[in-house]
Homo-oligomer: A and B are copies of this chain.
């Protein structure tokens, strides 16, 4: 049971990688929101596979059929169901996946949990493909947040050991980066990163990276102490993205090596507003927003699907074996994951804002 999330907006996801399709129900979206469906399509395309050489060759248009909750592009207040048909399903024999556990994938723990009854075709319900409905939901959330002056933008912070030159990410610059197929700021870094990805692809390997995501315009006072802190809410749903293995806010793990006098964000009054000179805390104190940009990073582990030969076990025969995974893989999912992280951050903020039903 992990299909539901949210306090003020409620998400429910369903579907499998090689079943009929994947979908999401969103409850709690206020009535009367006029949606820009082209904006949603654009965001869906940012995540969709098959667009270039650093993505899997599986071709999915990821067109969302809206089954409920919207009449003539306007939300009605009723639950919104978006459904995405699976099109480019390979009709190959997946039965080997019932026996041979792919390292780094959910295969083994899922087999134990579901007593081998889980749908293993393409990872089934565990597939990264399930992030497509999150982008759909997030793209609705972003339009509602936009009305309130809240804008979200992410970028590739690093791939492998190549770190983007992202000193002082600001909204204007990030907006431009978002438009790019490969959302990284400077051209030099972009070229290096793409070369690295091409290199690991040729070696039938994969590589990880870090995504930074910011939310601008979040007013002070959003969030809660303790169990419902902004960090709790955001991290909870961020770790729903397969491959995310760490999250940090503001300076994050760098805080371990800082002194209080450097870490504290000192306040000043700029005539109309209270601001901080620095934003080490990433816009959150005591679990509540302080009016500065929300700033967070997640690490994406290298795609576990690699062509290289790997040692593993055959769970049916209860013996060791080797595995070479054939088929279509992403050598690096970081570029496609940026919009997923943005979408998920939007959903977390909208939830904390109470669905904006005001």
Q: Which residues of A contact B (CB under 8 A)?
A: 1-5, 7-8, 10-16, 19-23, 25, 27-28, 31-32, 65-69, 71, 74-81, 83, 101, 103-110, 112-115, 117-119, 124-126, 130, 158-161, 200, 205-210, 220-229, 231-233, 235-240, 242, 244-253, 255-261, 263-269, 274, 276-277, 281-282, 284-291, 299-306, 308, 310-313, 315, 318-320, 354-355, 358
Contacts and interface: CB of A to CB of B under 8 A. Distances in A.
A72 to B, nearest CB: 10
Contacts of A200: 259-260
Given A113-B221, A130-B226, A159-B256, 6 more contacts: A4-B12, A19-B71, A76-B119, A248-B299, A263-B301, A268-B313
A257 to B, nearest CB: 5
Contacts of A358: 358
5 contacts: A3-B78, A7-B7, A15-B67, A101-B274, A277-B311
A2 B125 CA distance: 25
Contacts of A105: 285-286
A4 to B, nearest CB: 5
Chain A contact residues: helix, strand, loop or mixed = mixed
A5 B227 contact: yes
A245 B78 contact: no
Contacts of A263: 104, 208, 301-302, 304
A310 B78 contact: no
Contacts of A228: 1-2
A285 B109 contact: yes
B110 A286 contact: yes
A76 B32 contact: no
Given A246-B253, A299-B255, A104 B274 contact: no
B106 A286 contact: yes
Contact of A31 (B20, B65, B115): B115
Nearest to A6: B227
A214 to B, nearest CB: 16
A248 B284 CA distance: 19
B299 A256 contact: yes
B269 A313 contact: yes
A60 to B, nearest CB: 16
A323 to B, nearest CB: 9
A247 B222 CA distance: 22
Contact of A264 (B8, B10, B304): B304
B103 A266 contact: yes
Question: Which interface residue of A101, A238, A263, A265 has the most chain B CB atoms within 10 A?
Answer: A263
Contacts of A239: 229, 231-232, 235, 287
B12 A1 contact: no
A311 B246 CA distance: 33
A34 to B, nearest CB: 10
Contacts of A206: 259-260
Given A15-B81, A286-B242, A299-B256, A312 B267 contact: yes
Contacts of A8: 1
Contacts of A229: 2, 239-240
Contacts of A107: 285
A228 B28 CA distance: 12
A259 to B, nearest CB: 5
Contacts of A81: 14-15, 23
